[in-house]
Structure 1
């Protein structure tokens, strides 16, 4: 759920778990410890996010609109890439000086709520400063934790399967809603045998995909306070993945590393890839084929385990300006012009005002919107799995250890034990 493509998750999550506590990083100086106010009644709030330059341009345009509507509120902006953002935020939070409002994600809600960093926005809803009406598909629930409103979604996304349509068509494979994992893996083998290309780029290392698989089988990756599966479950998943790598059905992990930051799907070294649906625009930009969104494979021919995830905006619990923070968040998620400016940069727009204001003209974004509508209409969407404090570190470990396992650096059994050990430590911190 970050910038354009799963490349972000591959390249940054390896570093994220270990780097969050990195020392020597300077805290943002913005307010300098005062209340950010001035003699004429104007106040300043600090707003920070992660993302690329394009996202920064869009957000800064949106901020100017907000300041025009609220001339007594000035917004000081700051952004970095994903890893740098959370490194800086960790330092700021420890020093009691994080931004007044900031971009957030579900993996960090309980972590920073536990540290009393996040503002419960429910009081601002009750005061009329924050509007929670007109959210699509109940996506506003993503930011609710233990009865608190800790974040307000700016967009929605869900896990999807991106396919190289030309390769699938040549192999005679037609994905259909409700197809099973056995049918999916049979399709990958057929693609490998007939088109001489790996069918998948590395499904076994994606934590959020494994969560869907577990949900299909009555479990989940996380419970509210720990892991929701056993070592035997992960052993089966990773052993299966390792076997398919060795059979050539999944792209050679060493090739995947060599291609970074380009996706092996875009380079023609794989025919399908699981990722968040709003990341799919990248493949058209990077690759020479045509790419489409296919249904998630199932265990029972029906349930996919899917849910809506989201980037969101959160406030600092001890901000001097909770009203202004709430007004800013409300404007950023409801204003139609902001919707037209942001487009699907942070996912399918979360509110009906913005969703209806932005009409994508390019095929990839039209396909993303259509995919989410079809998933919702099919009644497949469930409630997002709770993420305990430490989930971000667990995700980083899952990706890193799965990579070591797939290249043969670590035996499957040892990789599973290592993951559970690291996860237990992270979740107990």
Structure 2
């Protein structure tokens, strides 16, 4: 999942959220559509994903290996950036012609299952065409919704706190597993007071981080069919964050906007930033300091609320070739050579075959792998919170409204009301 971190995610979610309402999808069922086939028994699968050129090179190389092993199956590949991918996919799905296999994420599973777009892969598991064994830390469950297997993970990641190690060392702060939010905020103030830099780039608009905080307190961002928290909860979270911005221990949001697409952590304008652990490779290329991964703060000194999330591969319910689609997915997630080719481009490799086959050489990738091993060993990983249909639109709204609130464009109370109004509309669609 090696997009360009939280900055790119902010940009694409705004666009994705804006496009969702405009593009309806007709419900589809069964097999049909525009799958390829020929009189000689050969089959053509269409495979689509989002990402940059580097990911395309790695995937196309992996596809070539698959075609060598399965010479009668040809794979036609297609990729765009995140926004363009989902706009094209929505149009294809509405027309009943989505790709046979495509990259997917947890926020879209219920949405497209509700519209009959996704193939339940359990039948292919039962038929022996797809193996769900040997997934690390139970990450295969990320693709399970309402008893269906709607996606198969290709990599895993979890929320983390990236720190500027030099800043933290100079301030005399050493984060340890089980530290509390009070200790974290005290650390931010100490960094601000001693190092004359904001402690954090701004955490209040990260939906998945807020989900962890809620989970630490017996709630969750989503239930299976709606939101799992109240207006009073969000009011407290955003009020606290806004006060810390005003106190200077959070980077000025206007500065954040000016620095984009560069992170304020990499520019030296903050000492830490919450993000997915596999995004952390960006800081070494953007910044001049040394960066490390620190534990997520806790409410009770124990539970972090963390879980493994993942990019995954899904198949179309309309594919004419469910067996071949399943064989392709199986190859892409289990083949050791594919693991060596893909590396951590889409997160820490999900299966033990691929994880054991790839040995990262760079310090950033080694640190990411070690972080996930440490989190798993700490016993804090739980099951991912279910995401209802419309979760992608809700996430886009949360990010946008939090940004407006942090810059003083809207009051906290108004921002909370606006978010709940937009979320209610998105989840009812």
User: What is the Cα deviation at residue 2 of structure 1?
Assistant: 5.3
Question: Post-superposition shift, 1:5?
Answer: 1.9
Report the count of equivalent residues: 422
Does residue 47 of structure 1 match 2:47? yes
- Measure how far apart 1:20 and its partner are: 2.7
Q: Is the CA contact 2:34–2:97 (under 8 Å) kept in the aligned structure 1?
A: no
Where does 1:45-194 land on structure 2 (aligned, <5 Å)? 45-194=45-194
Cα separation, 2, equivalents of 1:72 and 1:88: 28
Paired residue secondary structure (1:117):
coil
CA contact (8 A) 2:97 2:318 kept: no
* Residue 343 (str. 1) matches residue 371 (str. 2): no
Runs of 4+ off more than 6 Å: none
Output aligned runs, 1:217-366, within 5 Å: 217-366=217-366
Deviations 1:10-52 (A, max 9, x none): 22112211123557xxxxxxxx964311121111010000011
Q: Does the aligned pair in 2 maintain the 1:315–1:325 contact within 8 Å?
A: yes
CA distance in 1, matches of 2:16, 2:346: 20
Residue 312 of structure 1 aligns to a residue whose secondary structure is strand
CA distance in 1, matches of 2:387, 2:33: 32
Give the 3-state SS of the residue equivalent to 2:78 in structure 1.
strand
1:4-15 superposed matches below 5 A: 4-15=4-15
Q: Is the 8 A contact 2:114 2:389 kept in 1?
A: yes
**Partner of 1:207 in structure 2?**
207
State the partner residue of 1:29.
none
Structure 1 unaligned regions, length at least 5: 24-31
> Relative to 1, partners in 2 of residues 1:33 and 1:428: Cα closer, same or farther, differing over 3 Å?
closer
Could you tell me which residue of structure 2 aligns to residue 376 of structure 1? 376
Q: Distance in 1 between matches of 2:373 and 2:350?
A: 13
Alpha-carbon distance in structure 1 between the residues aligned to 2:243 and 2:34: 59
SS at match of 2:119: coil
Whole-Å separation in 1 of the counterparts to 2:415 and 2:21: 24
Task: Give per-residue Cα distances to partners, 1:144-163, cap 9 Å, x unaligned.
Answer: 00000000000000000000
C-alpha contact 1:4 1:281 (8 A) present in aligned 2: no
Conservation of the 8 A alpha-carbon contact between 2:336 and 2:353: yes
1:165–1:35 Cα change, 3 Å: closer
Equivalence for 2:425 = 425
CA distance in 2, matches of 1:371, 1:35: 41
The Cα shift of 1:7 comes to 2.2
**Structure 2 residues without counterparts, runs of 5 or longer:** 24-31
Inter-CA distance 165–72: structure 2 relative to 1 (3 Å threshold): same
In the alignment, the residues of structure 1 paired with residue 252 and residue 62 of structure 2 have an alpha-carbon distance, to the nearest angstrom, of 42
Secondary structure of the 2:293 match is strand
Q: Provide Cα deviations, 1:36-81, integer angstroms capped at 9, x if missing partner.
A: 1112111101000001111111001000000010110000001111
Contact map agreement 1:164 1:289 (CA 8 A) in 2: yes
1:158-195 residue CA offsets vs partner (Å, 9 max, x unmatched): 00000000000011111111110000000000000111
TM-score by length of 2: 0.97
Contact preservation (8 Å) 2:2, 2:347: no
Distance 2:57 2:338 in 1: 12
Q: Distance in 2 between matches of 1:230 and 1:242?
A: 19
Q: Deviations over 1:383-419 (max 9, x none)?
A: 0000000000000000000000000000000000000
- 1:228, 1:219 → 2: CA distance? 6
RMSD: 1.2
Residues 369, 34 of structure 1: alpha-carbon distance in 2 compared, 3 angstrom cutoff: closer
